[in-house]
């Protein structure tokens, strides 16, 4: 079975641990990598090393949406939710 070919990857909540390792591995595989965190200044060395691009995001706003889903009535259900940053351009 052939591995899928990815063009882009987004890692949210990026830091210097697992997400940094994943960024390095993905870049070796070829995709363009974007990393998102509250403090993008901390990601500067990783961006320089890998060519990834850093974006600021607010994990609290996204976390609140997840919490609201957990609190929904049992008679309701969610198939899928797509969360996007307010500054995303289409």
In our burial notation (b when 16+ CB lie closer than 10 A, e otherwise), range 59-83 reads: eeeeeeeeeeeeeeeeeeeeeeeee
Is a pLDDT exceeding 90 seen at residue 78? no
Is a pLDDT exceeding 70 seen at residue 90? no
Indicate the range of 39-43, 45-49, 81-85 predicted with least confidence: 81-85
What is the pLDDT at residue 86? 66
| Structural domain spans, the chain | 9-58
């Amino acid at each position: 079975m052939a591995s899928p070919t990815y063009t882009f990857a987004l890692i949210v909540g990026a830091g210097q641990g697992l997400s940094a390792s994943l960024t390095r591995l993905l870049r070796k595989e070829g995709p363009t990598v974007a990393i998102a965190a509250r403090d993008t200044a901390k990601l500067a060395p990783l961006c320089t090393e890998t060519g990834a691009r850093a974006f600021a995001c607010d994990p609290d706003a996204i976390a609140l949406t997840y919490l609201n889903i957990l609190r929904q009535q049992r008679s309701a259900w969610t198939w899928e939710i797509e969360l996007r940053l307010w500054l995303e351009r289409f």
